[in-house]
Copies of this chain bind each other. A is one copy, B any other.
């Protein structure tokens, strides 16, 4: 709780709202079941740039620019922006945002980045050190494939448990204005159940999601029925089944409330994405394109957003290490 220490659990005293948000996705994401909800679909994977890495940066810049326009503010009105991505040294963020001149906090939470950024952005506002803050993240299928797996030209076979890294970005701007309030949240702890299979991230991340959701429910004395939706980041099909099983064994049934951004963004059957979407941009774009507007429009009143991240690297996995995971949670509520 604000004012009392509680191991990463917090509730905000100030009115801190989502002033605006935006989502920009690639062609495949635009062709998926949520296509009509995103602000922009960019059909050119290079986004007019020479490299995919530069394109990913452009996705972030575009997402922030749209959010700024929607809020009807100037970029100078944003006091701090929190951003990170999956690329080595988070270059998607640094190069994407360098021209904005906004005070910048680089973060790394793998696919949990959107929730982490929102938490830091909200707590900076709560601290009084900033009036208006922002968070953004991105991922790109082609940058992720060649960095984490194999060059696209290699045409590697994908395993049944694999997920498809989304080409997408999502951004939020937080201030005292807005219809959706950040009520509180939970900063995750690192979970590691010993999984070493880089093509089965959902299973690696599910225990982290379960732990964070349980901690927040326990600390706030709430039950799944108190929420319209309990959204996980990108566990995909396997991880989604697992998180529900883990929680059920502890007496918490989230079956009726659970949605997973990785399961939602693609039609896995027709889009050949195996277990679903992944990447920082997956949960960021689904949150900003689908769930936040749902709250704004009155389609839901209370949502828990628990984005999950796998904190390994190709190097650590090649060295035989298991995959540490984390989930950060943000509680969003419609302002009455």
A contact set with B: CB distance below 8 Å: 1-8, 10, 13, 50-51, 53-54, 76, 79-80, 84, 86-91, 94-95, 97-98, 101-110, 116, 119-120, 123-124, 126-132, 147, 186-190, 192, 311-316, 319, 321, 324, 326
Contact = CB atoms under 8 A, between A and B. Distances in A.
Given A311-B89, A314-B88, A106 B109 contact: yes
A26 B103 CA distance: 33
21 contacts: A7-B76, A8-B80, A8-B130, A13-B128, A54-B319, A84-B106, A86-B89, A89-B108, A89-B316, A94-B326, A95-B316, A95-B321, A102-B189, A104-B187, A106-B311, A106-B326, A107-B108, A108-B108, A126-B127, A126-B129, A147-B315
A126 B130 CA distance: 12
Nearest to A119: B105
Contacts of A110: 89, 106
Contacts of A2: 127-129
A5 B79 CA distance: 7
| Number of copies of this protein chain within its complex | 2
B313 A91 contact: yes
Given A89-B110, A103-B186, 8 more contacts: A51-B319, A90-B311, A104-B189, A106-B107, A106-B326, A107-B107, A120-B120, A124-B127
Nearest to A116: B105
A94 B311 contact: yes
Contact of A319 (B1, B53, B123, B130): B53
A50 to B, nearest CB: 7
A317 to B, nearest CB: 10
The 8 tightest CB contacts between A and B, nearest first, are A8-B103, A5-B131, A10-B129, A94-B311, A89-B313, A127-B127, A103-B187, A98-B190
Contacts of A89: 86, 88, 108, 110, 311-313, 316
A251 to B, nearest CB: 22
B107 A105 contact: yes
A187 to B, nearest CB: 4
Contacts of A95: 311, 316, 321, 324
A316 B91 contact: yes
A131 B126 CA distance: 15
A189 B103 contact: yes
Contacts of A124: 123, 127
Nearest to A113: B106
A37 to B, nearest CB: 29
Contacts of A5: 79, 130-132
B319 A80 contact: no
A107 B94 CA distance: 13
Nearest to A191: B98
B326 A7 contact: no
Contacts of A98: 190, 192, 311, 324
Nearest to A97: B190
A15 to B, nearest CB: 14
A98 B84 CA distance: 20
A321 B53 CA distance: 11
Nearest to A94: B311
